[in-house]
């Protein structure tokens, strides 16, 4: 079996792993998109972000993608929503809402899903090539 094919499978499997992590982070953002603070003026849920990096797998001798950092989005501001009955409302009756844009999160999760599926497709093609090679050797 060719080491290049095995390398391709390992690279794709790793790509699937990081896209799965990305989908988990996005899912947490969507699940907490309405999570406010508990006391007047307290901050609500802050959107999480994920960044990737290339790293060398010394055992395999190939570059793979990895999760660099899961952080928070400090650049996007909180929206204010008028709700004087809410326990987290300020003196003026406004509540800080999370900096999560559900539409953007849904687009990000679709992109992550497509990347995951592309990596899965490469693994399936590599397995088919290995299977055809074994059939030819019989």
User: Is the pLDDT confidence value at 1 over 70?
Assistant: no
pLDDT at 2: 65
Mean pLDDT value of segment 26-33: 97
**pTM for this predicted structure:** 0.85
Nearest CA to 99 out of 33, 30, 28, 23 is that of 33
pLDDT in tens, 66-88: 999 999 999 989 999 999 999 99
Each domain of the chain, given as residue ranges in start order, spans 3-137
HEC sequence for the chain? CCHHHHHHHHHHHHHHHHHHHHHHHHHHHHHCCCCCCCCCCCCCCCCEEEEEEEEEECCCCEEEEEEEEEEECCCCCCEEEECCCCCCCCCCCEEEECCCCHHHHHHHHHHHHHHHHHHHHHHHHHHHHHHHHHHHHC
Q: What percent of the chain has pLDDT over 90?
A: 77
């Amino acid at each position: 079996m060719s080491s290049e094919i095995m390398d391709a499978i390992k690279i794709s499997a790793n790509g699937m792993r990081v896209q799965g992590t990305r989908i988990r982070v996005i899912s947490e953002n969507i699940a907490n998109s309405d999570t406010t603070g508990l006391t007047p003026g307290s901050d609500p849920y802050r959107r999480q972000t994920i960044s990737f990096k290339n790293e060398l797998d010394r055992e395999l001798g190939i570059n793979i993608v990895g999760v660099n950092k899961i952080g928070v989005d400090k650049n996007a501001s909180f929206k204010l929503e008028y709700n004087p009955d809410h326990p987290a409302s300020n003196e003026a009756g406004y509540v800080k809402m999370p900096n999560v844009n559900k539409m953007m999160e849904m687009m990000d999760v679709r992109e992550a899903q497509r990347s995951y599926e592309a990596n899965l497709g490469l693994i399936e093609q590599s397995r088919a090539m290995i299977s055809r090679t074994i059939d030819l050797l019989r």
